[in-house]
Amino acid sequence: MQSFKVPQILYDANLNWGQDLSLSPTGDLLLSSTSVRGEQRVLRRLLTNPTDYIWHPSYGAGLPNTIGQSLSIDEFDNIKSLITSQIFLEPAVSQTPPPQIFLQTIQFGLFCQIEYTDNPSQQAIVLTFDVAA
Protein backbone atom coordinates (compact mmCIF):
# COMPACT_ATOMS: atom_id res chain seq x y z
CA MET A 1 0.00 0.00 0.00
CA GLN A 2 1.42 3.35 -1.05
CA SER A 3 1.08 6.34 1.24
CA PHE A 4 1.24 9.98 0.32
CA LYS A 5 1.35 13.21 2.24
CA VAL A 6 -1.50 15.65 1.77
CA PRO A 7 -0.29 19.28 1.80
CA GLN A 8 -1.54 21.18 4.81
CA ILE A 9 -3.31 24.44 4.01
CA LEU A 10 -4.25 26.51 7.01
CA TYR A 11 -7.18 28.90 7.04
CA ASP A 12 -8.49 31.46 9.50
CA ALA A 13 -11.62 33.52 9.33
CA ASN A 14 -10.82 36.70 7.41
CA LEU A 15 -10.78 39.29 10.17
CA ASN A 16 -8.99 42.60 9.81
CA TRP A 17 -8.14 44.33 13.09
CA GLY A 18 -10.99 46.56 14.26
CA GLN A 19 -13.46 45.32 11.66
CA ASP A 20 -16.20 42.71 11.45
CA LEU A 21 -15.95 39.28 9.90
CA SER A 22 -16.15 39.37 6.11
CA LEU A 23 -18.64 37.49 3.99
CA SER A 24 -17.97 35.86 0.64
CA PRO A 25 -20.19 36.63 -2.37
CA THR A 26 -22.21 33.48 -1.54
CA GLY A 27 -22.81 34.61 2.07
CA ASP A 28 -20.32 32.27 3.73
CA LEU A 29 -17.62 33.49 6.08
CA LEU A 30 -14.66 34.67 4.06
CA LEU A 31 -11.48 32.78 4.87
CA SER A 32 -7.91 33.96 4.65
CA SER A 33 -4.85 31.92 3.85
CA THR A 34 -1.32 32.49 2.57
CA SER A 35 0.32 35.85 3.27
CA VAL A 36 -2.98 37.61 4.15
CA ARG A 37 -3.50 35.14 6.99
CA GLY A 38 0.03 35.82 8.23
CA GLU A 39 -0.41 39.60 8.08
CA GLN A 40 -3.67 39.41 10.04
CA ARG A 41 -2.09 37.17 12.69
CA VAL A 42 0.98 39.44 13.08
CA LEU A 43 -1.19 42.53 13.43
CA ARG A 44 -3.51 40.82 15.92
CA ARG A 45 -0.53 39.70 18.03
CA LEU A 46 1.06 43.17 18.08
CA LEU A 47 -2.13 45.04 18.93
CA THR A 48 -3.39 42.65 21.62
CA ASN A 49 -2.52 43.51 25.20
CA PRO A 50 -1.05 40.71 27.31
CA THR A 51 -3.72 39.11 29.54
CA ASP A 52 -6.53 40.19 27.16
CA TYR A 53 -6.88 36.55 26.04
CA ILE A 54 -7.62 34.81 29.30
CA TRP A 55 -6.75 31.39 27.87
CA HIS A 56 -3.34 32.71 26.61
CA PRO A 57 -2.24 35.34 29.15
CA SER A 58 1.22 35.80 27.58
CA TYR A 59 -0.18 36.37 24.06
CA GLY A 60 0.27 39.85 22.63
CA ALA A 61 2.78 42.67 22.44
CA GLY A 62 0.54 45.38 23.88
CA LEU A 63 1.53 48.13 21.45
CA PRO A 64 -1.61 50.15 22.35
CA ASN A 65 0.05 50.74 25.74
CA THR A 66 2.44 53.17 23.99
CA ILE A 67 -0.38 55.62 23.17
CA GLY A 68 0.15 58.97 24.86
CA GLN A 69 3.70 58.24 26.00
CA SER A 70 6.69 60.35 25.06
CA LEU A 71 9.18 57.82 23.78
CA SER A 72 12.95 58.05 24.15
CA ILE A 73 15.42 56.37 21.78
CA ASP A 74 15.85 53.56 24.33
CA GLU A 75 12.08 53.04 24.43
CA PHE A 76 11.96 52.90 20.61
CA ASP A 77 14.66 50.20 20.76
CA ASN A 78 12.66 48.31 23.39
CA ILE A 79 9.52 48.48 21.23
CA LYS A 80 11.47 47.21 18.20
CA SER A 81 12.81 44.30 20.27
CA LEU A 82 9.31 43.54 21.53
CA ILE A 83 7.90 43.58 17.99
CA THR A 84 10.67 41.30 16.74
CA SER A 85 10.27 38.78 19.55
CA GLN A 86 6.49 38.69 19.14
CA ILE A 87 6.36 38.34 15.35
CA PHE A 88 8.91 35.53 15.46
CA LEU A 89 6.28 33.56 17.40
CA GLU A 90 4.15 33.53 14.23
CA PRO A 91 5.01 30.68 11.82
CA ALA A 92 4.29 33.01 8.87
CA VAL A 93 7.35 35.15 9.67
CA SER A 94 10.72 33.93 8.40
CA GLN A 95 13.62 34.60 10.76
CA THR A 96 16.02 35.26 7.87
CA PRO A 97 16.43 37.88 6.67
CA PRO A 98 15.56 39.65 9.91
CA PRO A 99 12.57 42.01 9.83
CA GLN A 100 13.14 45.72 9.35
CA ILE A 101 11.10 47.86 11.74
CA PHE A 102 10.50 51.58 11.35
CA LEU A 103 8.73 53.53 14.11
CA GLN A 104 7.66 57.16 14.14
CA THR A 105 5.64 59.17 16.61
CA ILE A 106 2.46 60.69 15.24
CA GLN A 107 -0.14 62.89 16.90
CA PHE A 108 -1.72 60.79 19.67
CA GLY A 109 0.19 57.64 18.79
CA LEU A 110 2.80 55.67 16.91
CA PHE A 111 3.25 54.77 13.23
CA CYS A 112 4.76 51.32 12.55
CA GLN A 113 6.16 49.86 9.35
CA ILE A 114 7.42 46.29 9.45
CA GLU A 115 9.10 44.60 6.52
CA TYR A 116 9.43 40.84 6.90
CA THR A 117 9.69 37.74 4.74
CA ASP A 118 6.66 35.48 4.52
CA ASN A 119 7.28 31.85 5.32
CA PRO A 120 7.23 29.57 3.26
CA SER A 121 6.64 31.68 0.11
CA GLN A 122 9.69 33.89 0.86
CA GLN A 123 7.64 36.85 -0.40
CA ALA A 124 8.53 40.27 1.04
CA ILE A 125 5.68 41.69 3.12
CA VAL A 126 5.36 45.34 4.15
CA LEU A 127 2.91 45.83 6.99
CA THR A 128 2.04 49.41 8.00
CA PHE A 129 -0.33 50.52 10.73
CA ASP A 130 -0.98 53.23 13.31
CA VAL A 131 -1.35 52.70 17.02
CA ALA A 132 -3.35 55.80 17.91
CA ALA A 133 -6.01 57.02 20.29
Per-residue pLDDT, 128 = 94
Task: State pLDDT tens for residues 29-40.
Answer: 766 667 788 888
Is 112 in a helix, a strand, or coil? strand
Average pLDDT, stretch 3-18?
60
Compute the C-alpha angle 46/48/31, nearest 5°. Answer: 80
Per-residue pLDDT, 19 = 63
Record the pTM: 0.79
Residue 92: is it exposed, middle or buried by C-beta count within 10 angstroms (0-12/13-18/19+)? buried
Per-residue pLDDT, 93 = 95
Per-residue pLDDT, 100 = 97
Average pLDDT, stretch 119-131?
91
Angle between helices 34-47 and 73-87 (to 10 degrees): 130
Per-residue pLDDT, 6 = 47
Residues 6+ apart with CB under 8 A from 3: none
All domains of the chain in start order, with CATH: 12-132 (3.10.450.40)
Nearest CA-CA partner of 67 in 5, 110, 3: 110
Give percent of the chain above pLDDT 70: 80
Instruction: Rounding to the nearest 10 degrees, give the CA dihedral for residues 14, 130, 43, 94.
Output: 120
User: Rounded to whole angstroms, how far apart are CA atoms 22 and 15?
Assistant: 7
